[in-house]
Amino acid sequence: MTNDDPVLRAVAGDGGALVLATVVATRGSVPRRAGSRMAIDVATGAIVGTIGGGCGEADVIAAASGIARSGEPRLLRVELTDPVDSWSPAVCGGVMEILVEPVRSPRPQHASRDVE
């Protein structure tokens, strides 16, 4: 990995709460393999990188703010096994295990005081 990696730059940047999602294991047909990463800026919803798109990414994005608030990493299981005749895009047929971890906490809110 180099310093030109956009996911690493997103993690290193200055800002609010940031969560990093990393595919750590896969089984069957999946859109991305182990090692794929995605950084999520919880405040803005900005995303850098991808873990495959669709409902798998949506599940991770939905969990990101809670993980940032708790400060605790979670291992999410994303099953892409909807029936082929469904309208869902989750028909790859595989399963991904995704480590979602807070890498930067939200900025502390400073109380403002009136100075007389």
- The domain in which residue 30 lies consists of 6-104
| 1 within domain boundaries | no
Q: What is the pLDDT of residue 44?
A: 84
Instruction: Tell me the pTM.
Output: 0.75
Residue 62 pLDDT greater than 70, yes or no: yes
What is the rounded distance in angstroms from the CA atom of residue 112 to the CA atom of residue 115?
9
4 three-state secondary structure:
coil
| 70 within domain boundaries | yes
Tens of pLDDT, residues 71-110:
999 999 998 876 656 555 556 778 999 999 998 765 554 4
End-to-end Cα separation, the chain, in angstroms: 53
| 72 within domain boundaries | yes
What is the rounded distance in angstroms from the CA atom of residue 67 to the CA atom of residue 48?
18
Number of domains the chain is built from: 1
| 90 within domain boundaries | yes
DSSP 3-state percent helix, strand, coil across the chain (nearest 5):
20, 30, 50
CA 21 centroid distance within chain: 4
Q: What is the pLDDT of residue 113?
A: 43
Residue 63 pLDDT greater than 80, yes or no: yes
